[in-house]
Structure formats: structure tokens, C-alpha cells
């Protein structure tokens, strides 16, 4: 079993497509109130489901507002697409949200994948190989800016020239990398504090295969695999049914998942969410 020493943590993803500000705000306040560990939005500009003409607020500016309206729950984006922003700008946005939240940011990042969105807004969508190369450079840029007073970087895609970066974050901001491809899993081993497969349809068997690759990559660079938490964003699985919730957590915690992020259901199921948070989750944490 991977990472058996990590205690279980639970969060909700409140994807902003087809939802207004009030629902998003109330959902984050609910997560804050009932003691969930984390609450997340996503980084897309048009809805992934339903009509493309429906609402879909920007993730990072949204996070700043939601962080200001919560006090305890950790906040994050599953996950930021690297293709949308210069990584130095992204690092500045992350530190800004971390400051607003009082050190509660989980910094979710990935290589980017939604081609339709790039086409709609005229954003370059490179082939997969280049997207992974860009992401590798971006992680080095972000890491340097977070760590150093001044940074220099001369990459193929990104450059820094005696770049200052202040303020620094209020914490070591956990880097959450969403990945499942072999090359991306090598980047996970080098930079991630939390690894997320970003796949609610992944089976426990498949997760075991992927986590074995992460562990092998960690050992190849001399990193203890235990230093990375395994997270599963259970897309398509929400917490409106207690039995389904228990079964899902049991199946994946058995193969080493320690962090679970479920879709937040509609308002009529929020009493069930409260029950799970007050009764079921404490039992699972201490079980």
C-alpha cells in the first residue's frame, strides 16, 4: 500500500460551469462550516458540460473572492492549465491568493488539455509533447520564484532575467499536480506535494499501477515516495449517498489514496453532506 502513514483528508470540488456566484460562495462556506479539509474550483473558461453559453467564472479571480469569504478550509484549483498563463504570472497569482487566505492555498497545476477552449479564445494549443515540455519548464520557474529573492531562467519557452518576487508565500504552498501520463508522472516525483490522477473513472487497480510509477520515479531521484500524498478527484462521484461514499473511500484508501475530493451535489442534498461530514468522516478518519 502506498503512503499508509498519511491520515485521510476530504474535500469538495465545486466546478463553476453552469453555476452562479451565490452557489459557489454558499458551497465554499458550507465546506468551511462543516469541517471539510479542502474546497476546489476548476480552471476553465467555458463549461465542460451543458450549453457553452452557460456561466463559467474564471478560476483564479474567483478563488481570491472565495478565500476572503472563508476562514479555515484550504482552497485550490483542480488544476490550473499551464497553457493559459505565463508561469511567473501564475506564481504571482498563487502567492496573492495565499496571502488573502492566510496561508490556505493548495496550488493545483497541470499541462492543459481542453483543446476546444484554446480554439475558442485563440490560445495556442501545442502538441502533447510540447505541452509537457512547457510544463516542466514552468514548474522550474515557479519553484525558483517561490524560493529565491531573485531568479534567472533561460529555457526554450520561458525566461527570467534577475526577476524579483515579493512577497513570498505565507506557507510552503503544497503543489498539487494533476497527471497520469508517464512523462508527467516524472514531474510529479520531482515537484509535487500532492499527486492527483484527476480521474473519477480510474479503478483501484489502475491507480495502483500509476502510483507504482510515481514511487519508482521518486526513488530514481532519491526522493522518499511517502513525501507525496495521493489524491483522487472523484469526478462524477458526489457525496449525496452515504453508502456509496463509504464504499468508494474504502476501495481507494486500501490502495493508498489519502486525499479524496468529491463533487458537491445540488442544494437539496446538502443535509446529507452535513451528515457525512459530522458522522461518517470522523469515523473514517479514526477507523
Q: Domain residue spans in the chain?
A: 9-285
Q: Can you give the pLDDT at residue 1?
A: 39
Q: Tens digits of per-residue pLDDT, 251-264?
A: 999 999 999 999 99
Strand residues in the chain grouped as ranges (E): 9-13, 38-41, 74-77, 80-81, 105-110, 150-154, 159-164, 175-178, 194-196, 229-238, 259-263
> What's the rounded Cα separation, in Å, for the pair 227 and 143?
17
3-state secondary structure of 121: helix
* Residue among 127, 164, 126 nearest 144 (CA): 164
Q: Can you give the pLDDT at residue 244?
A: 87
* Residue among 156, 165, 119 nearest 136 (CA): 156
Q: Tens digits of per-residue pLDDT, 183-223?
A: 999 999 999 999 998 766 788 999 999 999 999 999 999 99
Q: Can you give the pLDDT at residue 3?
A: 44
Cell of 271: 443535509
CATH class label, 9-285: alpha beta
Q: Residue 84's Cα: distance from chain center in Å?
A: 16
Reported as a pLDDT band with limits 50, 70 and 90, residue 286 is confident
Q: What is the pTM of this model?
A: 0.94
Amino acid at each position: 500500500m502506498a503512503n499508509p502513514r498519511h491520515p485521510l483528508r476530504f474535500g469538495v470540488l465545486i466546478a463553476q460551469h453552469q453555476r452562479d456566484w451565490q452557489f459557489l460562495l454558499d458551497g465554499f462556506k458550507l465546506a468551511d462550516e462543516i469541517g471539510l479539509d479542502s474546497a476546489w474550483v476548476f480552471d476553465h473558461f467555458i463549461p465542460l458540460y451543458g450549453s457553452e453559453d452557460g456561466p463559467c467564472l474564471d478560476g483564479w479571480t474567483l478563488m481570491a473572492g472565495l478565500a476572503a469569504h472563508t476562514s479555515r478550509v484550504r482552497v485550490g484549483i483542480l488544476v490550473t492549465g499551464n497553457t493559459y498563463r505565463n508561469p511567473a504570472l501564475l506564481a504571482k497569482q498563487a502567492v496573492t491568493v495565499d496571502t488573502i487566505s492566510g496561508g490556505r492555498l493548495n496550488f493545483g497545476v497541470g499541462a492543459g488539455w481542453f483543446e476546444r477552449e484554446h480554439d475558442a479564445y485563440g490560445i495556442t494549443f501545442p502538441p502533447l509533447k510540447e505541452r509537457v515540455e512547457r510544463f516542466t519548464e514552468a514548474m522550474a520557474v515557479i519553484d525558483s520564484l517561490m524560493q529565491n529573492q531573485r531568479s534567472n531562467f533561460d529555457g526554450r519557452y520561458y525566461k527570467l532575467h534577475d526577476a524579483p518576487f515579493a512577497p513570498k508565500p505565507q506557507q510552503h504552498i503544497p503543489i498539487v499536480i494533476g497527471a497520469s501520463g508517464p512523462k508527467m508522472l516524472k514531474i510529479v516525483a520531482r515537484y509535487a506535494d500532492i499527486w492527483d490522477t484527476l480521474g473519477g473513472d480510474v479503478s483501484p487497480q489502475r491507480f495502483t499501477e500509476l502510483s507504482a510509477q510515481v514511487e519508482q520515479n521518486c526513488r530514481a531521484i532519491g526522493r522518499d515516495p511517502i513525501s507525496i500524498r495521493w489524491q483522487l478527484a472523484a469526478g462524477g462521484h458526489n457525496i449525496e449517498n452515504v453508502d456509496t461514499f463509504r464504499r468508494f473511500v474504502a476501495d481507494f484508501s486500501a490502495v493508498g489514496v489519502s486525499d479524496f475530493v468529491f463533487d458537491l451535489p445540488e442544494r437539496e442534498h446538502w443535509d446529507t453532506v452535513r451528515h457525512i461530514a459530522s458522522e461518517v468522516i470522523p469515523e473514517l478518519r479514526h477507523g
